[in-house]
Amino acid sequence: MIRLSLGKGLPAYTKYDVALFIEEKEKTRWSELLKEFVENGTDQHITKQRLSNYLKELREEGLISKTIDSKTAALLHIIRPIYKVSKNGKKRLKEIRDKKEIYEFIDSAGPEEIGKLHEEIKRFKKI
């Protein structure tokens, strides 16, 4: 699972971690999200409220969509949402994933690599 949070130790999950998880699974139920981000048995977790807020923010940004599982609703009369990445969300998540790769490199790079990167940035700005 790709994590966007930076730094050493166990960082908190971001809303983009949630979006990338949904993308990875193609479609995801609330119960799967709870297991992955809230009830994962580690020190790295978020609250149900934060997860709910993240999902709301991701829907408002157009990254994910929320539909009702009509099969479960018809059989059991229970409304269970299914979360999917939207078409626009797929493009944005690719951009986020690309930036994450750069952040990870910077976070793990030594002084020599940072120096080379800095020189490349200077060179790139002159173009």
Return d(Cα 18, Cα 93) in angstroms, integer: 11
Tell me, what's the pLDDT at 77? 67
Look up the pTM and report it: 0.73
- What the block records as the tokens of 75 is 């059989």
- Do the Cβ atoms of 82 and 29 come closer than 8 Å? yes
- Do the Cβ atoms of 45 and 38 come closer than 8 Å? yes
pLDDT, tens only, 56-90: 999 999 999 999 877 765 666 677 789 999 998 99
For the residues 45-64, what does the mean pLDDT come to?
Answer: 95
Asked if residue 106 has pLDDT above 70, the reply is yes
Asked if residue 123 has pLDDT above 80, the reply is yes
- Which domains occur in the chain, in start order? 15-126 (1.10.10.10)
Asked if residue 14 has pLDDT above 80, the reply is yes
